[in-house]
Chain A
Amino acid sequence: MLTIDGFRHVLPSPGDRRGSLLAVLSSSGYLRRENSRGGEFYALILFSIVGQSIMASANELIHDFHRLKISSIASYILAGYLRDRMRAITRVH
């Protein structure tokens, strides 16, 4: 099911977390400007990272697929997060 090894701890998951750290740092100002400071944005980023990070340690294709789904659903919602913006709506479609 899951194997915790050097590959998972050295390459993908810390990289994901550093990337998401940058995303959170850069998005907080933007969300303040857009007047959308809900907690679900950060929750979705964190859940997306959970999916990606477990995906890195999956040793069966079916588990890899499940984790990809966890990650992609959160990413999909994030793409259309600002529902009243035209660009966000077109990203979703």
Chain B
Amino acid sequence: MKGVRIGEPSHDGADRARVGRDLPLLILMVWMGTFTQTFLARDQPQNARILGRLKRSQTHPVPALAEAKRYGYRQLLPTSSEYIRVLPEIILTLMGTLPHVLEAVTNENRKGIFAPLSIAGLAAALAGAVVAYRDPGPLSRTC
């Protein structure tokens, strides 16, 4: 590759070997692009099943949404126990956003606080995982 300008062909053996190594991949790319049905035909039964399910859901509304229309959309909001199930992720997201906010108002000498802050966040997330483990289950009734 040494001494070769961009746009000029290389006569280096190593470069040619590199191109040769990628040749099967190039052939596969051309094949996939030109004879698409070789690959897509295998997905047809699966696609038909998904389309059928979509059509059925259009005629029969999602139970959670029907329930929400009947009892109000407050039914769709997660409950406190559902929030606790994702407590570690909530803690980590907040602690991940905090350094960005603090960086704008922290001077150079005090930037060492970010490491202990993130360690505290990770420790809190570990503790949150212990709390969340007490009540396993799905995250939301609408899922």
Interface residues of A (CB under 8 A from B): 1-6, 9-10, 13-14, 17-18, 20-21, 24-25, 27-28, 31-32, 37-47, 49-50, 53-54, 57
Contacts and interface: CB of A to CB of B under 8 A. Distances in A.
Given A21-B123, A42-B99, A46-B121, A4 B111 contact: no
Contact of A9 (B123, B129, B139): B129
Interface residues on B, range: 35 or more
B99 A43 contact: yes
A9 B102 contact: no
A4 B139 contact: yes
A60 to B, nearest CB: 9
Contacts of B92: 46-47, 49-50, 53
A42 B88 contact: no
Contacts of B143: 1-2
B115 A28 contact: yes
A4 B85 contact: yes
Nearest to A21: B122
A52 to B, nearest CB: 10
Given A9-B129, A49-B92, A39 B99 contact: yes
B136 interface: yes
State the main secondary structure of chain B at its contact with A: helix
Contacts of B106: 39
A40 B99 contact: yes
B117 A42 contact: yes
Interface string B89-119: 1001101111110110010100110110111
B37 to A, nearest CB: 24
Contacts of B7: none
Contacts of A25: 115, 119
5 tightest Cβ-Cβ pairs between the two chains A and B: A39-B99, A46-B96, A1-B143, A42-B118, A2-B139
Contacts of A47: 92-93, 96
B133 interface: yes
Contacts of A50: 89, 92-93, 96
Contacts of A45: 118
B136 A5 contact: yes
